[in-house]
Amino acid sequence: MITLLYFARLREALGTGQEQLAQPASVNTLGALRAHLAQRGGAWAKEMAEGRNLRAAVNQTVATADTPVSDGDEVAFFPPVTGG
């Protein structure tokens, strides 16, 4: 299973902050995972669309579209950060 986390505006738009996902056979990178989630349609299609300014982390390290994703990973999606 992959643990998926969503934060801030994204969490509100998707209506969930966390879920467990059985890794689809076609998903082995962050980019593929994002495309897979976008196929859910509705808010998912809008928020996960390629043009959206979205950041992501795999196992709590900032990641890019080609970062590998494996079973057991923690993957987080979030808007650009605004702390400080």
Partner 1 sequence: MKVRVQQEDFDVGTEIAAMRRSRPKIGAIASFVGVVRDVNDGDSVATMTLEHYPGMTEKSIAAIIDEARGRWEVLDALVIHRVGTLKPTDQIVLVIVASAHRGDAFAACEFIMDYLKTRAPFWKKEITPQGGRWVDARVTDDAAAERWQQPVSKVK
47: enclosing H helix or E strand: helix 42-47
How far is it, in rounded angstroms, from Cα 6 to Cα 12? 9
- Tokens 């969490």 identify what position? 11
62 lines the binding site for partner 1 (CB under 8 A):
yes
Stretch that binds partner 1, among 25-33, 35-43, 63-71, 76-84 (CB under 8 A): 76-84
84 lines the binding site for partner 1 (CB under 8 A):
yes
57 lines the binding site for partner 1 (CB under 8 A):
yes
How far is it, in rounded angstroms, from Cα 75 to Cα 59? 6
**Binding residue for partner 1, selected from 3, 7, 29, 32, defined by CB under 8 A:** 7
